[in-house]
Chain A
Amino acid sequence: NAGVMQNPRHLVRRRGQEARLRCSPMKGHSHVYWYRQLPEEGLKFMVYLQKENIIDESGMPKERFSAEFPKEGPSILRIQQVVRGDSAAYFCASSPSRGGGSGNTIYFGEGSWLTVV
């Protein structure tokens, strides 16, 4: 049973370009979460999605960032017009139903490391 799959693992973008990060949840999981980890910091929640719905985007920057989890295919975190401050590790996680507080384990992918030059 494959775990949470993220790609690409490493991505280099020039300032002003777009970055697209993909996440395929574990089989049978319909809840996806995105987190960002800046160097030597803990993970910060960005967005929580179910299939075709954004449930909680309270951690998403107001501009340039968007996320989707379509009916078919992986979840996508999209960063437009990247800046150097967007350089970070972006982690996707999934759970079979509403996670964390309901007692469901949330499983993480290996992360996508974005470097903006």
Chain B
Amino acid sequence: SQQGEEDPQALSIQEGENATMNCSYKTSINNLQWYRQNSGRGLVHLILIRSNEREKHSGRLRVTLDTSKKSSSLLITASRAADTASYFCAIGGKLIFGQGTELSVKP
């Protein structure tokens, strides 16, 4: 299966702390994308990292990619209550999603 698998399934932290979510996959990829989904809403694209990139930043987000381990991580620094959402990694041309990590940031 190409499916990305996120870990942990759920994460609860305090505002201001950092949150790290991991994604593992099984096939070779051209790129990997991370999305956020607030409850009852659509998916918001966060970041795309290509297979020849090791790290990418966007604001408080930092994504790493290790193609030798077939894994990626999403780090959210200085988290805010508004970061509370589910986070998904997706791979492949038609996007194969994992189950997601449910992040809860407590004020």
Contacts and interface: CB of A to CB of B under 8 A. Distances in A.
Given A100-B31, A101-B93, A103-B31, A111 B98 contact: no
Interface stretch (A12-20, A40-48, A69-77): A40-48
Contact of A111 (B41, B90, B91, B94): B41
Nearest to A101: B93
Contact of B93 (A4, A100, A105): A100
Nearest to B3: A42
Contacts, number: 69
Q: How large is the interface on B (under 10, 10 to 19, 20 to 34, 35 or more residues)?
A: 20 to 34
Contact of A101 (B30, B41, B88, B98): B30
B96 interface: yes
A44 B94 CA distance: 10
Given A41-B99, A100-B31, A56 B94 contact: yes
A102 B91 CA distance: 11
A48 B91 CA distance: 15
Interface of B: 29-31, 33, 35, 40-45, 48, 50, 88, 90-100
Interface of A: 4, 33, 35, 41-45, 48, 56, 91, 93, 98-103, 105-111, 113
20 contacts: A33-B95, A41-B99, A42-B100, A43-B43, A45-B95, A91-B43, A98-B93, A100-B90, A100-B91, A100-B93, A100-B94, A100-B95, A101-B31, A103-B48, A105-B33, A108-B42, A108-B43, A108-B45, A110-B41, A111-B42
